[in-house]
């Protein structure tokens, strides 16, 4: 186990439940829809949680989930239909492609990778809007993804919590 991933080499995680994934994504949507005072400083929670599940469970959560979530965000925010759908599908693709690599790093190293991913997704949606004729709102749009990257260790600890809890502790078991 010397080569194992340092953040989770100590514990073997329980299999993930689909309910946890769905619940966390719904909660992220709810967080995105909260009436925030300054929208520029708020990270995109859905992108963050989506990236987390794409890295951890690439076989369960992928491009389709990202696309659907993006569509919901587009409708909820009243922006061009397909803007976030495109950004999230690309984000999911990149996260799945990098998932093996990301899990080798400690949490802060993972956060750096995720920051790059979130910036990439924000860049895609900015590109779409600029192509549709919007005005560039300034570099403040890069602040949200960076704050999202800072939140990555917290989010990743919280979302792994259900998998860390023992199902039933058997003291008398030999192995």
Partner 1 sequence: MEHTPPPFFNRGPAPLVRLAFFATLSLALLVLDARFRYAESLRSVLVYAVYPLQALATLPAALSDRVSGYFVSQSQLREENIQLRAKLLGASQTAQRYEAALAENGQLRRLTGAAERLPLKAMPAEILYNGRDPYARKVVIDRGSQGGVNAGSPVVDENGVVGQVTRVHALSSEVTLLTDKEQAIPVQVVRNGLRAVAFGAGSSGMLELRFMAANAEIQNGDKLVTSGIDGTYPPGLPVATVARIERDAAYAFARIVCQPAGGVESGSYVLVLGGEQKRVAYPEEASPEPDKRPAKIRKARRKDADAAR
State in angstroms the smallest separation of the CB of 117 from partner 1: 15
CB neighbourhood size of 155 (10 A): 20
Q: Is 72 in the site for partner 1 (CB under 8 A)?
A: yes
Q: Is 90 in the site for partner 1 (CB under 8 A)?
A: yes
Q: Is 132 in the site for partner 1 (CB under 8 A)?
A: yes
Stretch that binds partner 1, among 111-119, 121-129, 153-161, 163-171 (CB under 8 A): 121-129
DSSP string covering 48-89: HHHHHHHHH-TTTS-HHHHHHHHHHHHHHHT--TTHHHHHHH
DSSP 8-state symbol, 34? S
Q: Is 167 in the site for partner 1 (CB under 8 A)?
A: no
Considering only 7, 89, 110, 156, the residue that binds partner 1 (CB under 8 A) is: 89
Contact 49, 155 (CB under 8 A): yes
State in angstroms the smallest separation of the CB of 70 from partner 1: 7
Residue 41 has, within 13 A of its CA and on its CB side, a CA count of 3
Sites of contact with partner 1 (CB under 8 A): 26, 29-36, 39-40, 59, 62-64, 66-67, 70-72, 75-83, 85-86, 89-90, 93, 96-97, 126, 128-129, 132-135, 137-138, 140-141
């Amino acid at each position: 186990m010397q080569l194992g991933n340092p953040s989770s080499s100590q514990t073997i995680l329980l299999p993930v439940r689909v309910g946890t994934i769905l619940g966390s994504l719904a909660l992220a949507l709810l967080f995105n829809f909260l009436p925030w005072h300054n929208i520029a400083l708020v990270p995109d929670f859905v992108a963050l949680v989506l990236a987390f599940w794409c890295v951890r469970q690439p076989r369960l959560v992928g491009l389709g989930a990202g696309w659907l979530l993006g569509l919901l965000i587009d409708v909820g925010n009243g922006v061009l239909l397909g803007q976030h759908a495109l950004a999230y599908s690309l984000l999911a693709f990149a996260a799945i492609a990098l998932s093996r690599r990301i899990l080798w790093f400690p949490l802060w190293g993972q956060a750096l990778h995720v920051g790059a991913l979130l910036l990439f997704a924000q860049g895609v949606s900015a590109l779409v809007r600029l192509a549709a004729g919007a005005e560039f709102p300034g570099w403040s749009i890069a602040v949200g993804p960076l704050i999202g990257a800072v939140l990555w260790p917290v989010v990743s600890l919280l979302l792994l919590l259900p998998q860390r809890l023992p199902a039933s502790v058997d003291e008398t078991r030999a192995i």
